[in-house]
Amino acid sequence: MNKRILSILLGLVLVASLLVMAVPVSASTSTEVKLLPDKTEANPGDTITYTLSLGPCDEVGGFEFRYIFPEGLEYVPGSGKVVSGAKEAMHFGTLDWTQKSMLLNGTTALESEEYYDYKSDSDTALMTFDVKVADDASGDLTVTFKEGYPNTWIQNWTTEKTHDLTYTTQAVTIGGSAEPTEAPAEPTEAPAEPTEAPAEPTEAPHQHDIVFVPEVPATTTTPGVAAHYQCTGCDKLFSDATGNVEVTAEDLVIPVIQPTEAPAEPTEAPAEPTEAPAEPTEAPVVEPTIDPAAPTEAATEAAGQDATVAPTQAATSPATKDTATKTTTSPKTGDATHMTLWMFIMIASLVGVAVVLYAAKRKGIFTK
């Protein structure tokens, strides 16, 4: 019985030791984040420079820091800058400041197929930026962080463990020397107005987020739009990528394409004059049919009593056959009046020849 109890106790001890070995002991990593101004007292209109840095740290693989500006302290556009050399010293692939969202983002680089976690025994400066004290600011003002993930955090990329953050900030007292400046208030009233006018440009500097807009070609029914640039924040249009030359929507309109079919009509007019020259071609074709008949009649009269009827018929038949052949092969021009005239002349000639032959036969001119 005692042995059985002892065996059970030894088994429980063994299981407990295995559980202790299986559960890893992990200590939380704490990192200090510092955001300090270059002065602790300021007056309205003054400029204050802030520096963001990390205290002594270990296993820093990535982070994000988002700021909160109190009323009375205005961020100076374009003043945010990453400290030169910080990215390379931390072996980070990215270390970027985004003014639109007031966010500093950093991520470690990939080296030898493993993420490299940054470690430092001293403070590491990350970035600087400027704020301007508003004219109506007063009291103690502090620039702080928007705490908690996903706004402000530090993470170890190797273990994917998030650090516990402690924040060190410094308040700036505004208006500490404002009362002594009230004595010469009367002389300063005249220049006071000009100091208000420059206050507006602090709001005016708008950082254009410019994108390229490609050309939309015009058609025969709708106008087109020329290629240009547009700010996604204020929707202003520009002709250059830097946003210096502003244009309007009317300046970018491409007119509708006009049709080019009108010049086709003049090509039909020259076709009419080509029909008129057809008439002169009839005279040269028909005239040769009359000329052979005349020599036949002259030869008949010159022969007199010595000519015979057979030679006359032989001389007459080819002429008649040739005349008929040429008449039927004449080109048709569409004008029937001229052909009738020539046919009438030809028939009259043949009748005349027949009368002469008949008279000669009656008188016995061709008899031997």
Q: What is the pLDDT of residues 243-254, one digit of tens each?
A: 888 889 888 888
The whole-number pLDDT of residue 68 equals 93
- Mean pLDDT value across residues 6-20: 69
The whole-number pLDDT of residue 109 equals 77
Of 31 and 116, which is predicted with more confidence?
A: 31
The whole-number pLDDT of residue 11 equals 72
**pLDDT confidence bin for 202, thresholds 50/70/90:** low
The whole-number pLDDT of residue 2 equals 64
The whole-number pLDDT of residue 175 equals 85
* Residues with Cβ within 8 Å of residue 288, at least 6 apart in sequence: 326
- What six digits make up the tokens of 157? 């990329």
Token pair 């002065």 in the structure block, residue? 39
With CA atoms as reference, report the closest residue to 28 among 169, 166, 168, 167. 166
Q: Which amino acid is at 185?
A: A
Asked if residue 197 lies in contact with residue 204, where contact means CB atoms within 8 angstroms, the answer is no
**pLDDT confidence bin for 340, thresholds 50/70/90:** confident
- Mean pLDDT value across residues 183-211: 60
The whole-number pLDDT of residue 25 equals 41
pLDDT surpasses 70 at 268: no
pLDDT surpasses 60 at 354: yes
**Residue 217: helix, strand or coil by DSSP?**
coil
Quick: pLDDT tens for 28-52: 678 899 999 999 999 999 999 999 9
Q: Cα separation of 293 and 359, whole Å? A: 18
**Helix, strand, coil % over all residues of the chain, rounded to 5:** 40, 30, 35
The whole-number pLDDT of residue 367 equals 54
Helices within the chain (DSSP H only): 2-22, 86-89, 185-196, 282-286, 293-303, 309-328, 336-363
pLDDT surpasses 90 at 160: no
Asked if residue 245 lies in contact with residue 237, where contact means CB atoms within 8 angstroms, the answer is no
Token pair 């990350």 in the structure block, residue? 126
* Residues with Cβ within 8 Å of residue 315, at least 6 apart in sequence: 296, 299, 300
pLDDT surpasses 60 at 317: no
317-321 contacts, C-beta under 8 A, 24 or more apart: 318/292, 319/292, 319/293, 320/350
The mean-pLDDT minimum among 151-160, 216-225, 309-318, 328-337 falls in 309-318
Report the predicted TM-score, pTM, of the whole model to 2 decimal places: 0.43
CB-hemisphere CA count at 13 Å for 176?
10
Token pair 């407990």 in the structure block, residue? 16
The mean-pLDDT minimum among 78-92, 173-187, 281-295 falls in 281-295
- Mean pLDDT value across residues 232-252: 85
CA dist list (Å): 85 to 38, 82, 88, 124: 21, 9, 5, 11
Q: Domains in the chain, start-ordered, CATH in brackets? A: 30-174 (2.60.40.680), 210-254 (no CATH), 282-363 (no CATH)
**pLDDT confidence bin for 141, thresholds 50/70/90:** very high
Average pLDDT, the chain: 74
CA dist list (Å): 287 to 233, 284, 327: 94, 6, 10
CA dist list (Å): 288 to 150, 291, 323, 351, 368: 113, 5, 8, 19, 35
Q: Cα separation of 76 and 174, whole Å? A: 17
The answer to whether the bond into 150 is cis (omega within 30° of 0) is yes
**pLDDT confidence bin for 366, thresholds 50/70/90:** low
Burial class from Cβ neighbours inside 10 Å (0-12, 13-18, 19+) for residue 85 reads: exposed
DSSP string, 15-68: HHHHHHHHS---PPPEEEEEEEES-SEE-TT-EEEEEEEE-SEEEE-EEEEEEE
- What six digits make up the tokens of 228? 């240009």
The whole-number pLDDT of residue 24 equals 44
Asked if residue 48 lies in contact with residue 134, where contact means CB atoms within 8 angstroms, the answer is no
The whole-number pLDDT of residue 291 equals 46
**pLDDT confidence bin for 286, thresholds 50/70/90:** very low
- Mean pLDDT value across residues 177-184: 46
- What six digits make up the tokens of 171? 């308040």
